[in-house]
Chain A
Amino acid sequence: MHQLENTNVGIESLESQSAVGQSSVGIPSSKVGMWVFLSGEVLIFGGLIITCVLFRLSYPQWHEFSGETNALTGSINTFVLITGSFTIVLAHKMVDERNLRSAYLYIFLTIISGLLFLAIKAIEYAGEIEHGYGFHSGPFWAFYYGLTGFHAVHVFTGTVINTVVLILISRKKKPGNPGSLVENAGLFWHFVDIVWVFLLPLFYLS
């Protein structure tokens, strides 16, 4: 069987489900589960994005609409999200170095980046609705609201996850390995980030 150093094996209450108390492949179950979950998420957004691209190819007037979206706030939001990804990586590094205080700070900054993104997105939506573009204004706007809205739901979920992780690891009684928690939250956050990198050209630049 596989050799395994148990020092870094995720949340113990989960690991102990294996009768011999070890992970068969040497990766914490929580991380395996997160990757499995993300592979499903990739297919959700993959399907949506492919559909969107197919629609864009069959609608020559698509670019007129994408000119109406605010590329400036879109770019600022990209910057905000990628900064958040950077800070969560730093948080994971700090947890590994047992520097919990800095880790709290970096997770907090990631939460702020998520909230900032949502705020800017809300302002953007408000402006577009004011210009009379709603869900009904043709396929571009339906896809725009559908996909960015679904993505915003993910940003919100990620922010909630980060908040929960921050509360969990800052409490005295630890539920398990904080490194594993932060790493998994970070995986989800990176995913949300990558999706946005696909949405930006699709709706703001095409």
Chain B
Amino acid sequence: MESIITIEDAHTEHQGFIRRYIFSTDHKVIAIQYLITALIWALTAALLALFFRTELASPGAILTPESYNASVTMHGAIMIFWVAMPLLIGAFANLCIPLMVGAKDMAFPGLNMLSYWVFFISSIVLFSSFFVPGGPAPFGWTIYPPLSADPRFTGAKMGGILFLFALILEFASMLMGGINYITTTINLRTRGLSMMRLPIIVWMQFIAALIFLLSVTPLVAGVGFLLLDVIVGTSFFRVTAQSQGDPLLWQHIFWFFGHPEVYVVLIPGLGIIAEVFASHTRKPIFGYKSIVYATIASAILSFVVWGHHMFVSGMNPSLSYPFAVTTIAISVPFSVILVCLALTLWNGSIRFTSSFLFALGSFVAFIIGGLTGLFLGAQVLDVYLHDTYFVIAHFHYTIFPSVILASFAGIYYWFPKMFGRKMSESWGKVHFWGTFIGFNIFAFPLFFLGIAGGPRRYYDITHIDYLRHFQWIHVLSTVGAILLIASQAPFIINFFVSIFKGKQAERNPWKATTLEWLAESPPPHHNWNGMVPIVVNDPYEYSPEEEREDFKPQGILISREEVFREGTDAPIGKH
């Protein structure tokens, strides 16, 4: 049986370039494919943001109202669906789950490859929508009908159709990924790795995949029906002479997905923060079980809060009370998670690497986002703040830390594992401070614009009397956005230079405990070079008293014969 494995591994070593790097079934290659595609999209969406922020700072300068609408829509949609999802779910779940559970690959490697390529096709479809007559979809990333259901309103028929098609493909791709993540976590854990010994990020990815699976599926059907409205002319979501559709129905379907979705992209980000905190403070995660149970609780609650997006939509007002209560309630489990993370920092011997700085920045910024969410969750205040820049600021304070800052923490942290080399720390710190300061200059002033009543989506506020003297906030915010985007230059250079010229990384550059650091950097196809990782410890045994080193790795690598000899429950010889 040993010989069979050797033949199999030797075979994969000699795959051609295309099988190995393009149509690869290797989860690490797929993770890198997702990562790079997402970073390209992030840059595209950031440039769109640059356009319309410049526009808001000096109205009429570079965009027409129509192209302003389109850039705002595409910025939001791309950042959520083509950046956040492939970064956190596509790249990090693919990279982490098989390595951290000690598997050779995902449960269904072929499906995994298909997932990326469906995502790639959806990217192409979306990208092509920029170049059709009428321009890309301009109806806002929430796709509210009747604006989206009837092309006569916007004049962007083809752009809208392509956008909706791309969305369905993207959902399908992420669902295929999700099936893999869930099955792999349930079924391919190595010996000794019980669920309560999983690293936090695997738990987070597992729960996020479950939330996504159960929330996006109704929206898949909803988008299909919206497409029927646009193409065939049915009236599920619009009102015509013959037939009474229901525009509010779309909002229910969309937010039934939309709110769990923000947790889908938040929870894996918290997972990355937890991994980085533990290894950089040399302390076990504080309250492992509390974090796991709190995440499960928030996942369940996330399905019953969607109405807080619809307090002013014309939904029955008495419904707003239960939704306000659940929304305030969901802050409890998240407070538990954040307090546990904060207490992990307490008395740690912290190493301030770029990765840790990003994790800490993400943690701090997210607290601002979380606290301002309470204002919007209470329906009395929301009626006033709804559709103002307060919402924009709150949203960016939640999504930006959990998606962008946490992903950067993850990229700096796992870069040695992905590419076998290290990124430059000094450039990493330049990148962090530019990003963090730029982001705060961009987002924080918008809270005040929102409280002053500044409505979102407006092309030009200088025509409005009560807002005219707040134009400086837009200018300041745009300056922050420019600093934020310019600060990505050191990252891009650092990233690509380090792939080829970075310092060689050893197996475990951060002296971390979890299983992925037992593998080579980068791990070969099937990860373990014919060895088998066996879990012997809890995931975060840092600074144990009796040990000479300041950490105990979660597992050990043993040879296949040893597994066969030692375990009565190891049926490995059957293969």
Q: Do A33 and B253 have beta carbons less than 8 Å apart? A: no
Query: What residues make up the interface of B, taking CB atoms closer than 8 Å to A?
Result: 98, 102-109, 111, 175, 178-180, 182-184, 186-193, 213-215, 217-218, 220-222, 224-225, 228, 232-236, 242-246, 249, 253, 256, 527-528, 532-534, 563, 567, 569-572, 574-575
Residues of B within 8 A of A9 (CB): 571
Q: Contacts A135-B232, A142-B236 known; A21 to B571 CB distance under 8 Å? A: yes
Top 3 A-B pairs ranked by shortest CB distance?
A: A47-B218, A43-B217, A6-B571
Q: Are A17 and B575 in contact (CB under 8 A)?
A: no
Q: Do residues A17 and B106 form an inter-chain contact, with CB atoms below 8 A?
A: yes
Minimum C-beta distance from B459 to chain A (A): 35
A20 contacts chain B at the CB level, 8 A cutoff: yes
A129 on the B face (CB < 8 A)? no
B186 near A22 with CB under 8 A, answer: no
Interface residues of A in 109-157 (CB under 8 A from B): 135-139, 142-143, 146, 150
* Complex interface: chain A residues within 8 A of B244 (CB): 139
B569 touches A19 (CB 8 A): no
Task: Report the Cα distance A139→B238, complex, angstroms.
Answer: 11
Please tell me which one of the listed residues A25, A39, A137 contacts residue B214 in the complex, with CB atoms under 8 A apart.
A39
- Once the chains are docked, how many angstroms separate the CA of A25 from the CA of B191? 11
Task: Contact check, B214 vs A3: say whether CB atoms are below 8 A apart.
Answer: no
| Residue pair B221, A136 in contact (C-beta under 8 Å) | no
How many angstroms between the C-alpha atoms of A1 and B191 in the bound complex? 6
Cβ contacts A to B, 26 pairs, < 8 Å: A16-B104, A18-B103, A18-B187, A18-B188, A18-B190, A19-B102, A22-B572, A23-B188, A24-B187, A29-B184, A29-B187, A32-B107, A33-B180, A36-B178, A40-B175, A47-B222, A47-B256, A48-B218, A51-B249, A135-B228, A135-B234, A136-B234, A138-B243, A142-B243, A143-B236, A146-B224
Is the CB–CB distance between A32 and B243 below 8 Å? Answer: no
A33 to B235, CA, bound (A): 36
Give the contacting residue for A40; candidates B104, B184, B217, B243; CB below 8 A: B217
Bound CA span A25–B182, Å:
13
A33-B575 contact in complex given A23-B187, A24-B188, A142-B243, C-beta closer than 8 Å: no
Asked, given contacts A19-B527, A37-B179, whether A14 binds B575 with beta carbons under 8 Å apart, the answer is no
A20:B217 contact, CB within 8 angstroms:
no
Inter-subunit contact B574/A21 (CB<8 Å): yes
Q: How far is the CA of A23 from the CA of B104 in the complex (A)?
A: 13
User: Are B571 and A139 closer than 8 Å at their CB atoms?
Assistant: no
Given contacts A19-B102, A19-B104, A43-B214, contact A27 B571 (CB under 8 A): no
Known pairs A33-B108, A142-B234; A20 contacts B190 (CB<8 A): yes
Given contacts A20-B563, A22-B572, A47-B218, contact A33 B179 (CB under 8 A): yes
Smallest CB-CB separation from B531: which chain A residue? A19
Among residues of A, the one whose C-beta sits closest to the C-beta of B249 is A51
B527 proximity list for chain A (CB < 8 A): 19
User: A114 → chain B, closest Cβ, in Å?
Assistant: 22
| Residue numbers in A under 8 Å from B182 (CB-CB) | 32-33, 36
Having A1-B192, A22-B569, A47-B218, one finds 11 other A-B pairs with CB under 8 Å, namely A2-B569, A6-B574, A14-B107, A18-B188, A20-B532, A21-B571, A37-B179, A44-B217, A44-B218, A48-B218, A143-B236
Contact size range, A:
35 or more
> Is A19 touching B533 in the complex (CB atoms < 8 A)?
yes
In the complex, residue of chain A having the shortest beta-carbon distance to the beta carbon of B8: A16
**A residues within 8 A CB of B217?**
40-41, 43-44, 47
Measured between alpha carbons, how far is A48 from B226 in the docked complex, in Å?
Answer: 13
Partner of A29, one of B188, B232, B528, B534: B188
How near does chain B come to A79, taking the closest CB pair, in angstroms? 27
CA of A17 to CA of B98, assembled, Å? 9
* Bound CA span A19–B217, Å: 32
- With a CB–CB cut-off of 8 A, which chain A residues contact B178? 36, 40
Chain B: minimal CB distance from A168 (Å): 14
Find the residue from A3, A4, A32, A54 having the highest chain B CB count within 10 A.
A32
Interface centre among A12, A14, A20, A25 (most CB of B within 10 A): A20
How far does the alpha carbon of A24 sit from the alpha carbon of B570 in the complex, in Å?
Answer: 11
A46 within 8 A of B: yes
Most A CB within 10 A of own CB, among B175, B178, B189? B189
| Cα A51 to Cα B213 with chains together (Å) | 19
B contact residues around A143 at 8 Å (CB): 236
Q: A36 to B213: give the CA distance in the assembly, Å.
A: 8
A 34-71 to B, binary, CB cutoff 8 A, 1 in contact else 0: 00110111011111100100110000000000000000
- CB pair A139–B245 under 8 Å, yes or no, is yes
A135 to B235, CA, bound (A): 9
CB distance from A192 to the nearest CB of B (A): 15
Contacts of B233 in A (CB 8 A): 135-136
Residue of A with least CB distance to B27: A17
Contact A27 B187 (CB under 8 A): yes
For the complex, give the distance between the alpha carbons of A2 and B192 in Å: 10
- CB-based contact B225/A146 at 8 Å: yes
Residues from chain B with Cβ under 8 Å of A142 in the complex: 228, 234-236, 243
List A contacts of B225 (CB < 8 A): 146
For residue B281, give the distance in angstroms from its CB to the closest CB of chain A. Answer: 30
In the complex, what residues of A have CB within 8 A of residue B528's CB? 19
> Are A4 and B569 in contact, with the CB atoms below 8 A?
yes
Which residue from chain B places its CB closest to the CB of A44 in the assembled complex?
B217
A146 to B235, CA, bound (A): 12
Q: A135-B228, A150-B224 are in contact. Are A17 and B188 (CB under 8 A)?
A: yes
Please report the C-alpha to C-alpha distance between residue A3 and residue B191 in the assembled complex, in whole angstroms.
11
Are A39 and B213 interface neighbours, CB within 8 A?
A: yes
The listed residue (B107, B571, B572) touching A33 by CB distance below 8 A is: B107
- Verify A36–B214 contact, CB threshold 8 A: no
Smallest Cβ-Cβ distance to A7: which chain B residue: B574
Question: Within the complex, what minimum Cβ distance (angstroms) separates A152 from chain B?
Answer: 14
Contact B213–A40 (Cβ < 8 Å): yes
Q: Do the beta carbons of B108 and A29 come within 8 Å of each other?
A: yes
Report the Cα distance A137→B242, complex, angstroms.
7
